[in-house]
Amino acid sequence: GDIFRSLHGRTFDLTHLPGLKGEDRAPAPAKSRSKVPKKAKRIVYFEVEILDAKNKEKLLLLDKVLCMAMHSNQRWYPARQSLCLDPKGKPLKDEDVLHQLPVGTTATFYFRDLGSQISWRTVFLTECIGPLFIYLMFYFRVPFIYAPKYDFTTSKHWVVHLACLCHSFHYVKRILETLFVHRFCQGTMPLRNIFKNCLYYWCFAVWMAYYINHPLYTPPYYGEQQVKTALGIFVFCQLGSFSIHITLRNLKPPGSKTKKIPYPTKNPFTWIFALVSCPNYTYEVGSWLGFTVMTQCVPVAFFTIVGFIQMTMWAKGKHRSYLREFKEYPTLRSPILPFVL
């Protein structure tokens, strides 16, 4: 079973190893043979001590522990708990088992309160739904955004309407992927992340939408050719992003936390796996680069640059994780840009 499921509820179920079943017993000896007593199995008990990772205060001491099921406390529910072997070490995984850890028969763990938690899916949906509706408010020019004479008017430039379709498509795609495609390794994240993420996505959506849908907006310098080229880049990268997400989903069965190396499949959009560890970020950056060229708008360019920096950091972390966990990991791969970065 798991090490602990909760910490401060101090009611425990200590269960012992089951006895031998009838079919596991040795057959009855013949009368002519003397009965040889079967050697009893050795049962190992643990002494478990829980300390606060910050002040080293003893929170709990359990003696003669064999197997535990700890009842949860409403305040420190399982998702907000972290147990480590070292005060500054990495948290233990849910699937770690007590007798398989390097602790001996006396085990000391350090407890951290991770704070209030919220599901990844909730955060993803919230940060995507916001930009979708914010952009549409500017596109339809609802009152109190621009001058009253422009209320509920439409732009005369076709690139503005195309940009709205692309922006909406991107976030609808992300919402549907969050609901039906993504499988999250970790169920929750700190509650504060939803405010940070929404501030980032929602504010950039306001900034971009205001200028793209402004009555005084001017189309791209190179006109229709520039817009069509950028649209091709955007559509190509959106298809690539979806293909990568499907491949990553198929790599992980439902409920499994086993990590595997992603490889190219028959889908041509996945062939980039031969050169890049995180092509989902590569395609995401490409999509916003296409949107930047299409709209020729400074706020969009700034959003693309900031996003590229952030996704590069995530890709490098994922790349290091692959190299650390898999000795046979392909050495030709780069984190996000082939042969470059």
Q: What DSSP state is assigned to residue 19?
A: P
| CA–CA dist 190, 199 (Å, integer) | 15
CA torsion sign, 273 to 276 to 279 to 283?
negative
CB 205 within 8 A of CB 134: yes
3-state secondary structure of 196: helix
Q: Looking up tokens 């070292």, which residue turns up?
A: 86
Q: Is the pLDDT of residue 334 over 50?
A: yes
Is residue 238 helix, strand or coil?
helix
Categorize the per-residue pLDDT at 54 as very low, low, confident or very high, splitting at 50, 70 and 90.
confident
Q: Name the strand (E) or helix (H) holding 306.
A: helix 298-325
Binning the chain into helix, strand and coil, the percentages to the nearest 5 are 45, 10, 45
**Nearest to residue 1, comparing CAs of 141, 123, 97?**
97
Strand partners, 46: 65
| pTM, two decimal places | 0.79
pLDDT at 124 over 80: yes
The mean per-residue pLDDT over the stretch 97-115 comes to 75
> Is residue 4 pLDDT above 50, yes or no?
no
How far is Cα 248 from Cα 283, in angstroms, rounded to an integer? Answer: 14
Q: Which of 85-99, 112-126, 134-148, 305-319 has the lowest mean pLDDT?
A: 85-99
Closest CA to 286 of 259, 311, 316: 311
Mean per-residue pLDDT over the chain, rounded? 84
In angstroms, what CA-CA distances link 172 with 120, 132, 180, 208?
A: 17, 8, 12, 18
